[in-house]
């Protein structure tokens, strides 16, 4: 089970790197950021496929997308100086609460 979560964390990190670089591609007109996007997403999907051998796709995708949403929002706020209003912060809180509920209470992960 440890390896499945490690692969999922690696997938999230590559997805976040690729998505962050996507903003810098300027419509895929800049080579280096564009290469980071392509390689980053390829590695993200490869590592995302590994936990799917043992864990349900819905749960894996929920965890992957939630972590990506929260991290990309944090990067947008810190790195790109994008403002977050109260509804955005509350929404992120709900996303994080959903991840905690899945991990603490879902029996689906036990299989």
Tens of pLDDT along the chain (111 residues)?
Answer: 899 999 999 999 999 999 999 999 999 999 999 999 999 999 999 999 999 999 989 889 989 999 999 999 999 999 999 999 999 999 999 998 988 898 788 877 655
The two structure tokens encoding residue 7 = 């692969």
> In terms of residues, how long is the chain?
111
Q: What is the pLDDT of residue 109?
A: 63
CA distance 98 to 62: 9
Q: What is the pLDDT of residue 111?
A: 52
CA distance 35 to 32: 5
pTM of the model: 0.86
């Amino acid at each position: 089970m440890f390896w499945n979560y490690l692969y999922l964390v690696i997938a999230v990190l590559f997805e976040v790197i690729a998505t962050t670089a996507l903003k810098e591609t300027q419509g895929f007109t800049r080579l280096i950021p564009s290469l980071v996007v392509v390689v980053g997403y390829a590695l993200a999907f490869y590592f995302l496929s590994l936990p799917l051998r043992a864990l349900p796709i819905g749960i894996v995708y929920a965890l992957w997308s939630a972590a990506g949403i929260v991290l990309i929002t944090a990067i947008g706020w810190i790195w790109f100086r994008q403002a977050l209003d109260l509804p955005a912060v509350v929404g992120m809180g709900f996303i994080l609460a959903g991840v905690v509920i899945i991990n603490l209470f879902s029996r689906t992960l036990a299989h």
